[in-house]
Amino acid sequence: MAAWQKELFTALFLYLLVSIVGWITGTFLLLNLLLTIGMLIYQVIQVNRFEKWLSAGARNTYPKSTGIWEELYYHVYRIKKNNKKRKKQLSKMIDQFRQSTEALPDAAVVLGVNDEIEWTNKAARDVLGLKQLDKGQRIPNLVRFPEFIRYISSGDYSEPVMVPSPVNHQITLSVRIVPYGAGLRLLIAQDVTQLKIMERMRKDFVANVSHELRTPLTVLKGYLETLQDMDDGHSAVLTASFHQMQGQTERMQHLVDDLLLLTRLESQQKKAVCVHIPELLSQICQEGDPVSTQRIQLTLDTDSNIMGDEQELRSAFTNLLGNALKYSPDESIVKVRWYKNKDGINLTVEDQGEGIAKADINRVTERFYRVEVKRRKKVSGTGLGLAIVKHVLMRHDAQLTITSELGKGSCFSCHFPIKRICNCN
């Protein structure tokens, strides 16, 4: 039987008893009134006891009671006990989380809506020079590098930003912000000094090797030319060997030139002068051999020019045009178009050649990536041309889009933003 039913039956039994006694003694009303008052007083005392126990935190075991009150005490006591257990588990988890984030090698800072510091780990204090007392301070007031301030206020956190450590300028940090929750952001700073050093060593190595190869290659080429001039054609093997050697030396020279150009693109300061693009395109389209130039259809829909580096743009455009001619049949047309639309200004180089498979499109701009295609004649190349194009465009805030269909042809589009347009006069 449930506690409330027991309580009801007891009350009914008492009223029945009192009513019988009252009826016999002629005090029916008085006895019933006295019983009601007595029961009321009992309940008020129980409520008072319960309230006192609750206001004391309901921490201790509950006082001894009977009936429905015992049930009430028991339920509240159990809820309290479970809550206490859950709280303990939660604080243990928070402690473990704190300890693990404290031990993280990367600096982590939780930022509030107004860039104020809410929490930092040990690495953040060590490498960003933040203190426990800085909690509540705005981080741009403490880490004052312009590139960092620009990054944090830009709201675009898709790419990390490189900044020196405020405590040691020899240390390079890659800082990234990850938004989460309601307006909260997690700032993560990783020490990439070693990576930077290795990157510099790689660049220096490539630059030095390419540079050092230049002189011996020029000497080799010179002697080869002399030998070819001296060749009287008596030995077909010798003539063929000279021809092969000349081809390979030329290939190596292109490779060295492309590597040096890439190194320059990675390390040199950007130049920005107004480049007369229609003129540049007309020159490039007439530069090749007469057979190739006849295949080019140049359309200049705009006479707009752009701010940039003429040499770099020349190599990028030459590479695109060279590829279009190289990877399409000898008689096919290559369309070059310079036009403006509402988003900016564009150059498209379109061919009717072999096309590029979908899986290769994303990879052709990687260094040394050449698509394996069985062709009737061998097409020479270094695999660096499109890497150069990508780099040059990046330095001009431009983007390269490649659309292609196998067997039908490809279209390489360079999209320059409106802000790059300039007036050369």
Interaction of residue 393 with ligand ADP, rule CB under 6 A: no
Q: Is the dihedral of CA 114, 117, 119, 123 positive or negative?
A: positive
Instruction: Work out whether 317 is an interface residue with ligand ADP (CB under 6 A).
Output: no
For 15-51, the DSSP string reads HHHHHHHHHHHT-HHHHHHHHHHHHHHHHHHHHHHHH
318 is a site residue for ligand ADP (CB under 6 A): no
Q: Which is nearer to ligand ADP, 107 or 324 (CB)?
A: 324
Cβ neighbours of 345 (radius 10 Å)? 22
Site pattern 67..106 for ligand ADP (x: CB under 6 A) = ----------------------------------------
Q: Does 316 bind ligand ADP (CB under 6 A)?
A: no
Q: In the block, which residue shows the tokens 């007469």? A: 290
Per-residue interface string for the shown chain with ligand ADP, residues 394-413, x marking contact by CB under 6 A: ----------------x---
308 vs 355, beta carbon nearer ligand ADP? 355
**Residue 384 lies near ligand ADP (rule: CB under 6 A):** yes
x-marked contacts with ligand ADP along 263-302 as a string, rule CB under 6 A: ----------------------------------------
**364 binds ligand ADP per the rule CB under 6 A:** yes
Residues between 113 and 152 that touch ligand ADP (CB under 6 A) = none
Contacts of 45 (CB under 8 A, 6+ apart): none
Cross-strand pairs, 224: none
Among residue numbers 339 through 358, which ones bind ligand ADP (CB under 6 A)?
Answer: 351, 353-356
Ramachandran area for residue 268 (φ above 0: left; ψ -120 to 50: alpha; else beta): beta
Based on the shown chain and the rule CB under 6 A, indicate whether residue 414 belongs to the binding site for ligand ADP. Answer: no
* Site for ligand ADP contains 22 (CB under 6 A): no
324 binds ligand ADP (CB under 6 A): yes
- At position 58, the amino acid (one-letter code) is A
Nearest alpha-carbon partner for 152 in 180, 179, 118, 120: 179
Q: How buried is 233 (Cβ within 10 angstroms: 0-12 exposed, 13-18 middle, 19+ buried)? A: exposed
HSE, CB side, 13 Å, CA atoms: give it for residue 330.
6
The conformation of residue 61, written as its DSSP 8-state character, comes to P
Count the neighbouring beta carbons within 10 Å of the beta carbon of residue 351. Answer: 27
Residue with Cβ nearer ligand ADP (201 or 406): 406
Binding residues for ligand ADP, total number by CB under 6 A? 21
Task: Provide the binding-site residues for ligand ADP, judged by CB under 6 A.
Answer: 319, 323-324, 327, 351, 353-356, 364, 369-371, 381-387, 410
